[in-house]
Amino acid sequence: MSVLKRIEEIEAEMARTQKNKATSNHLGLLKAKLAKLRRELLTPSSGGGGGGVGFDVAKTGVARIGFVGFPSVGKSTLMSKLTGTHSEVGAYEFTTLTTVPGIVQYKGAKLQILDLPGIIEGAKDGKGRGRQVIAVARTCSLIFIVLDVLKPLTDKGIIEKEMEGFGIRLNKKPPNIAFKKKEKGGITVTNTVPLTNFDADEIKAVLSEYRIHNADVNIKEDCTIDEFIDVIEGNRIYIPAVYVLNKIDSISIQELDLIYKIPNAVPISSQHGWNFDELLETMWSKLDLVRIYTKPKGKLPDYDQPVVLKRDACTVEDFCNCIHKAILANFKSALVWGNSVKHNPQKVGKEHVLDDEDVVQIIKRI
């Protein structure tokens, strides 16, 4: 029996199984089996042809933003307006057949934009070019899910399901679960908060499906069995997303007010260039980048070309490595002006964590 057929059978069994305490272990086992089958389906075979010519492109810039959506929702027009890069536009489906890269400069940062081919329902199961499209999406720092404003919630749900099926978790953080295999001692389950969605028996049932009989599990938040399976699988990608609701020129002001209630949504018109300022500001906020300005000794800071770092890697050492790895060899200390220090300037070491728009002067050993 094919993998797809087995997936369909398990999904059908889950759909007809009532959810209650008596069936929780059984449903947990089915979910584990489903996760394993999806991994098998989505892992390229050794004889496979890879992602295909033109799908993935070399990374440039400090972050990568992928445009994902159904065909003909305006991704290519938006790409062209934001970057000046020509992405084929047409009033018919599947105009874009490969990944089209472009660059947008914003707040001194060079950001790579990828216009991906339109996906279709069933992409996670291999329909169309869905696997290649979503495989590229997994490499992005941020995903723009471009939706037609006339049917946003329907398409949003379908695309989220496709992304979930490919191991992409949108606007979520990894569950706070510590999991460690061991040689012997059986399964030990501890939790620091009450668990309302599953219990230790269900955890053991899932681990049994993975043939794990000795492990320590420490659960530090009230999560679901699906999130626990994500930890066991270990290949999930957590990516922020913005829902770009296009074609607002075709709706009323009252409808626009309702659209704004959708979380993480930015309504725009790619055709008329409406509301691009909010879209770019939301993009910047989601990327969570930090701009650091350099200051040569005896000169004014360079505010035109900041060094752009990721918020979770913005120490003075990261700053030096971003400019040139050889700097650290002669590094003595740094003078910092800005929000990360108590007084201006302040002498700091390479482990000091910088904040957005700090100014840094490197002091070298003599």
CATH number, domain containing residue 360 = 3.10.20.30
* Percent of the residues in the chain that have a pLDDT greater than 70, as a whole number: 89
> Is the domain of 162 the same as that of 257?
yes
* 16 and 158 housed in the same domain: no
pLDDT of residue 240: 97
**Structural domain count of the chain:** 3
- Does residue 252 lie within any of the structural domains? yes
Q: What confidence score (pLDDT) does residue 85 get?
A: 67
Task: Note whether 225 and 337 are same-domain residues.
Answer: no
Mean pLDDT of the chain: 88
| Position 35 in a domain | yes
Residues 192 and 298 in one domain: no
Extract the tokens encoding 335: 């003078």
Please check whether residue 52 lies inside any domain of the structure: no
- Measured between its terminal Cα atoms, the distance across the chain in Å is 71
How far is it, in rounded angstroms, from Cα 93 to Cα 6? Answer: 31
More reliable by pLDDT, 51 or 244: 244
Least trusted range by pLDDT, from 31-40, 89-98, 263-272, 324-333: 89-98
pLDDT on residue 294: 96
| C-alpha span between 180 and 214 (Å, rounded) | 9
Q: Residue 301: inside a domain, yes or no?
A: yes
Residues 248 and 311 in one domain: no
Residues 97, 133, single domain; the answer is yes
Of residues 63 and 95, the one with the higher pLDDT is 63
Average pLDDT on 215-239 reads 95
> Are the beta carbons of 302 and 295 closer than 8 angstroms?
yes
Give Cα 74 distance to the centre of its chain: 21
- Assess if residue 75 is contained within a domain: yes
248 versus 72: which is more confidently predicted? 248
* pLDDT at residue 326 greater than cutoff 50: yes
Q: Within a domain: residue 55?
A: no
Q: Higher confidence at residue 115 or residue 244? A: 244
Q: What is the CATH number of the domain that holds 155?
A: 3.40.50.300
128: left (phi over 0), alpha (psi -120 to 50) or beta: left
- The answer to whether the CB of 142 falls within 8 A of the CB of 283 is yes
User: Rounded to 5 degrees, what are φ and ψ at 141?
Assistant: -80, -25
Residues 128 and 72 in one domain: yes
Residue 93: give the domain boundaries. 63-170+240-287
